[in-house]
Structure 1
Amino acid sequence: MKTNIKLAAIITYLSVFLGVIISLGSTPYIVSTLGKSEYGLYSLVNSIIAYIVLLDLGFGSAVIRFNSKFISENDTNGQRNINGMFLVLFSGIGLLALLASLILVFNFNSIFSSLNESELSILKTIFIIAAVNVAISFPMNIYSSIITAYERFVYLKIINLLRVVISPAMMVLVLFMGLRSVGMVSVALGLNIAIGLANYFVCRYKMKLIVKFSTFDTKLFKEVFSYSSYILLSSIAFQLYTNADPLIIGMFLGATPIAIYAISTQLNTYIMNFSNVLSSFYLPKLTKMIVKGADQARLMVELVKIGRIQALIVGYIVSGFVLFGQVFILIWLGEGYRYAYTIALIIIIPQITSIVQSLFATMLEAMNRHKVKALIYFSIAILKIILTLLFIRVWGITGCAIATAAGMIVNVILNNIYYKYKLKFDIFYFWKEIIKVFIPVVLLGGVCGYLLTFVSISSYLQLGLYVILYSVLYAATMWTFSMNADEKQIVTGPMRKVALRSQT
């Protein structure tokens, strides 16, 4: 299983890397083809759709957890029953999502009064296509969750890798054909259907999975709903953080400022995707550990190990963005997007602590102890919305970013109090281990930042050379001052295996 996770992690990092490179290459073409206004509308639709997705009521994580539980207990009948129940639930939710979307479309004129008639027409068209995509996704997503519960990560990550490559290529193609944003959302719909069908056939014919439609188990449903309700609350809070700002900007400032803010949040998404790869694999593993009686000391070993690795990764990415982010944006999109760097920094830097502790959230789901965290997150999200509505009137899109950052800081503080005093985890030990990673990062970043003030970078080639130089310095610094023996073994172990194979 370790090999499975390692290979899946490698494929995931490759997918994220290719996704970033392809996105960086295609975004200027997409922005220039659509224009700031239509690109802002496309971003707005994605933000609205993210709220429609919340209708899954948190059952997506429940599919993984309860399948993992039944697998661990060798309860085949229970697994068949619960998957039948989930399929019925998700099909009903899909229909509800489509109905809610249609109702919403009829109210766009009053909601987005700052948009003109042409912009509203485009918004309605691409939103309806995106809504159909979401409605179909609900019943289809159950199969990817089941595959995750079986820890078939390699297959899932290969499928995602194909999506990463095919999706932007097809989007650029439809733009070239003149189909604009309508073509882009249509591509997403087509790919989603194809992947959903592939997952179904893998579950049905490769894994021999049978879904049983028996009498509705009310007791089991109550247990599932109790677990899922707080996943839902966390999901709502997450969407308020990541997708409320474009809606508020659209209501108060119009379509064009959304485009600048969208670039900042896009850069933040790149960093999140790179940094949270490992934690995405651990819900099945942690669930099985807890079912088998793992204590807090054993869980803390996993939390610290993954937290330090994530710190090494996010330290490199964020410090690199601080050093080279502004010049990259200027070369990439031009002077008109210069301010996206400042907005991105305000959002990204406070998020480092949450990224490092992301496995804590996964652990709480596995323990079915995620209620308090969900309540904290939701309360802070409401506070963030209030601050955004106040700050946007004074500082514009900068106020949105400041409100987001403030909420993140308060959220991390409250969560760590909960981990320390309620769950009795040794949080001081955790952060002591993390700080050992970050001290050399800060010192190296400070020295390199000072030296870069004497340098002028004006092309991708120059930027690439300096990034490579910084990468070498970062790797050498982390190896010498931050990484422990186990972390070095992760790097050298595969190299030694390759060397031994080449000698035989």
Structure 2
Amino acid sequence: MISKEIKGGALLSYATIFATNIVGIVLTPYIIKSLGASEYGLYTMIGAFVGYLTVLDFGINNSIIRFVAKYRAEEDKKGEENFLAVSFIIYALISLCILVLGSIGYLHLDDLFGDTLTADQLNKAKIMVMILIFNIAVTIPGGAFNAICMAYENFTLPKAINLVKYLLRSLLVVVILFYGGDSISLVIIDTIMNLIFIVTMAYIALYKLKVKIRYYTFEKSLAMSIFHYSVWVFVLALVNKLRWQFGQLVLGLNYETTVVAIYAVGITLGSYYGAFSSAISSLFLPKAMQMTVRSESPQVMTDTFVKISRISTYILFFILGGFILVGRQFIHLWVGDTFAEAYLYTVLIMIGLTFTLSQSFGNDLLQAKNKHRFRGIIILTATILGVAVGWNLSLSYGATGLIASVVAFIFLERIVMWWYMNKELQINMVHYFKNFSGQLLCFLIALLISYPLLGLITMPGWFGLFCKVALFALMYCSCMFQVMNKTEKRLVRDLVPASLKIRR
């Protein structure tokens, strides 16, 4: 049975994703228009440059979720309190490293971007870097409070607060840009909102959940356990930065900021795609930890893996299919023809991420069993090779060559992980693919049926786009309903309000 907190957390996650996507769709062209494509490119490029410091979290947040869930399952309150105290000591050292490394990066901005940025852009870049360094130094340790709530399976209130935070941030962005704000203003807004969110989450963890952080002793074995677990989570975070944000730096070193802006739009749309899947998968790391502590059978783990994967796949395939069919028209209406190339970037990213996103619960199980070292090695190797080959291809083929290379190596990494999950977790991947094949077939049928039908809709503008999406949704749901099992059909029926259900 799925708990009320997980159901509430999932619903709020999707409410947040729906709000962020809708607001993002409306807000992004407004930001681009207000800043201009060149400054928008500068804003995203500097965000990517400083964003690498966020990997210095070293996966401690994930460690908190894993270890606190473990201590709770073992009812070891003293161990939990000491673990959290040791974690915050480590966080203090991390924040110090961020300030030092960030300062070094600040001092070398002229050397890195002096050939591609104007003097005015360099001045703005330096101000943004200083603010972002402070932001990250505070946000990384502050994220521990949200991780504590996750470990306590308290999802509803934190996610509701996160939704309010995003909506308020969006409103402030509109107001600030309306009155002539620039990229520096956006960075200041993000920093202030992050500080407010951290204080709120600390209040929930310390006063609502009554979590205690108390230092008893510094156990070397505990510190090593945290390190051995978190270092590979750190590697995975580094991989995410290398895959997507490093491309902005590569392009920024060789092309003007407008090219970076087009690439950033594709990355943004790809990140929205990933967010839909993570809304469910992010709620299940504590469950994976509990399953590990209870030593659940391979059959139970396989069934849970397939169940979560199938739900994620329904959502992912709908977004992927819809974008393939109407993505060009959407980008034209959304940000204009200047960003038309972002369609291909986004499709490549979506296709490349589909398997990885739909199978993310397997990654949670690997983390819970502390067997994610192998995945860290494989994914880091594949990413370095993908980025290296992509960098070379980008010199001749621009962002298309870069993304194509990264996606190709994502597929190679996933093939290796199918074998590893079958070996280490004893997840029956043959059983998984039998379930997935029906979904894939219905997805392709829905695409083939919808493509000629959408061509009959000739209405221009957003109304025509919405009509096409609605038609595809009808075809897609009709096809996918044929492969839903009884549990999934019951889940769909439960989402229908009682007042709309047909009474027999």
TM range (shorter): over 0.9
1:381 aligns with 2:380: no
8 Å CA contact 1:327, 1:457 repeated in 2: no
Task: Give a deviation string over 1:80-116, Cα, whole Å, max 9, x none.
Answer: 0010111111122112212211110110111123222
Residue 358 of structure 2 is aligned to residue 333 of structure 1: no
Q: CA deviation at 1:180?
A: 0.9
Contact 1:97/1:135, CA 8 A, preserved across alignment: yes
User: Partner of 1:276: helix, strand, or coil?
Assistant: helix
Quote the residue 2:310 is aligned against.
308
Q: 2:151 aligns with which of 149, 152, 164?
A: 149
CA shift for structure 1 position 455: 3.9
How far is 1:502 from its partner? 13
* Contiguous gaps of at least 5 residues in structure 1: none
Q: Which residue of structure 2 aligns with residue 27 of structure 1?
A: 28
8 Å CA contact 1:19–1:164 kept in 2: the answer is yes
SS in 1 for 2:168: helix
Q: Is residue 2:494 matched to residue 1:493? A: yes
**Counterpart in the other structure of 2:133:** 131
Q: Distance in 2 between matches of 1:421 and 1:65?
A: 22
Amino acid at match of 1:173: V
Give the match for residue 252 of structure 1. 254
Maintained 8 Å contact 1:331/1:458:
no
Report the Cα distance in structure 2 between the residues aligned to 1:221 and 1:244, rounded to whole angstroms: 31
Question: Is the contact between residue 82 and residue 214 of structure 2 (CA under 8 Å) also seen in structure 1?
Answer: yes
CA–CA separation in structure 2 for the residues paired with 1:198 and 1:347:
35
Is structure 2 residue 39 aligned with structure 1 residue 38?
Answer: yes
Following TM superposition, by how much is the alpha carbon of 1:473 offset from its aligned partner in structure 2, in angstroms? 2.3
Which ranges of structure 2 fall in alignment gaps of 5 or more residues?
A: none
Residues 257 and 328 (structure 1 numbering): CA distance in 2 closer, same or farther, change over 3 Å?
same
**Offset of residue 49 of structure 1:** 2.8
Paired residue secondary structure (1:396): helix
Partner of 1:90: 91
Corresponding residue for 1:202? 204
1:319 aligns with 2:321: yes
Structure 1 residue 119 displacement after superposition: 1.5
Counterpart for residue 266 of structure 2:
264
Q: Deviations over 1:245-266 (max 9, x none)?
A: 0010001112110000000011
- Equivalent residue, structure 2, for 1:238: 240
Distance 2:260 2:333 in 1: 20
How far does the alpha carbon of each residue in 1:362-385 deviate from its partner, in whole angstroms, 9 at most, with x for none? 111011111101110000011011
Please tell me whether residue 277 in structure 1 is matched to residue 279 in structure 2.
Answer: yes
Q: Deviations over 1:32-83 (max 9, x none)?
A: 1111111011111221232100111111100110000001111000000010
TM-score (norm 1): 0.96
Show the counterpart of 2:418.
416
> Structure 2: how far apart are the matches of 1:178 and 1:292?
57
1:289 matched residue in structure 2:
291
Amino acid at match of 1:4: E
Relative distance call for 1:51 and 1:18 in structure 2 (3 A) is: same
Contact 2:449–2:475 (8 Å) recurs in 1: no
Q: Distance in 2 between matches of 1:232 and 1:130?
A: 20
CA distance in 1, matches of 2:177, 2:95: 29
Q: Number of aligned pairs?
A: 501
Residues in 2 aligned to 1:316 and 1:99: alpha-carbon distance in whole angstroms: 45
Match of 2:403 in 1: 401
Q: Is the contact made by 1:13 and 1:277 (CA closer than 8 Å) also made in structure 2? A: yes
Residues in 2 aligned to 1:419 and 1:303: alpha-carbon distance in whole angstroms: 11
Name the stretch that deviates more: 415-424 or 332-341: 415-424
When structure 1 is superposed on structure 2, of 444-453 and 254-263 the one drifting more is 444-453
**Residue type matched to 1:407 in 2?**
F
2:65 touches 2:151 (CA, 8 Å); kept in 1? yes
Q: Which of the numbers 440, 443, 446 marks the counterpart of 2:442? A: 440
C-alpha distance in structure 1 between counterparts of 2:178 and 2:95, whole Å: 32
Q: What is the distance in 1 between the residues matched to 2:276 and 2:209?
A: 30
Q: Secondary structure at the match of 1:119?
A: helix
Quote the residue 1:187 is aligned against. Answer: 189
Residues 342-357 of structure 1: pairs in structure 2 closer than 5 A: 342-357=344-359
8 Å Cα contact 2:446-2:472 kept in structure 1: no
Q: Deviations over 1:153-198 (max 9, x none)?
A: 1012101211221111111211112221111111111111111001
1:68 aligned partner: 69
Are positions 1:57 and 2:58 aligned together? yes
The alignment partner of 1:215 has SS state of coil
What is the SS of the residue equivalent to 1:214?
coil
What is the Cα deviation at residue 137 of structure 1? 0.8
- Taking the aligned partners of 1:244 and 1:168, their CA distance within structure 2 comes to 26
Is residue 454–residue 468 contact of structure 2 (8 Å, CA) maintained in 1? no
Alpha-carbon distance between aligned partners in 2 of 1:376 and 1:91, rounded to the nearest angstrom: 30
1:421-466 C-alpha deviation (Å, 9 max, x unpaired): 4543211111110111121111111221123334435211111122
Give the letter aligned to residue 60 of structure 2.
F
Name the aligned partner's letter for residue 398 of structure 2: G
Give the AA of the match of 2:290: K
Tell me the SS of whatever aligns to 1:304: helix
Partners of 1:350 and 1:140 lie apart in 2 by 32
